[in-house]
Amino acid sequence: MFVMTPFEHRNQDIFQAFNDFENRFFGGTAAVNACKTDIQENDQAYLLEAEMPGFSKDEIHLDVDGDYLTISAEHTTENNSEGDGENKNTYIRRERSYAAYKRSFNIANVDADHIEAAYDNGILKLTLPKWMVTTPAVRRIEIQ
């Protein structure tokens, strides 16, 4: 007996069904796995490292709005291959890709005016200095 099955339903693997659900829900695995972020803490600051492969420094934006730091990046590429000769409008291959990333962090206990950022080899590194709580100096007031 010959049964016609749509292409997307030929694989009945249960694990593939979960992968398909994840890809549809989150917009593909690239969106889920992109820009992994590590945050370390020391006495003076938080150190944030975000993997942002494929982005140039000019495509990455850091915005502070109140108590939130937002890291966003957008990248578009277009590769064109055109035929030779008289007919340059015939595509032999044409590919486009788009990647975007946006993530916000609460920086309520960070001195936002002194955040430092560096980007090297696909890694965004931020130094987020902590607010230093200063205790008022003890002093004696002389009576005149």
- Structure confidence by residue, pLDDT tens digits, 21-70: 555 555 544 444 467 899 999 999 999 999 998 899 999 999 999 999 99
The helix (H) or strand (E) run that includes residue 116 is strand 116-120
Reduced to 3 states (helix: H, G, I; strand: E, B; else coil), residue 11 is: coil
Q: Is a pLDDT exceeding 60 seen at residue 19?
A: no
Q: List, as one string, the DSSP characters of 42-109.
A: -SSEEEEEEE-TT--GGGEEEEEETTEEEEEEEEEEEEEEE-SSS-TT-EEEEEEEEEEEEEEEE-TT
Q: DSSP letter at 8?
A: G
Match 């006495």 to its residue by tokens. Answer: 43
State the pLDDT at residue 14. 52
55: its two tokens: 């982005």
State the pLDDT at residue 6. 46
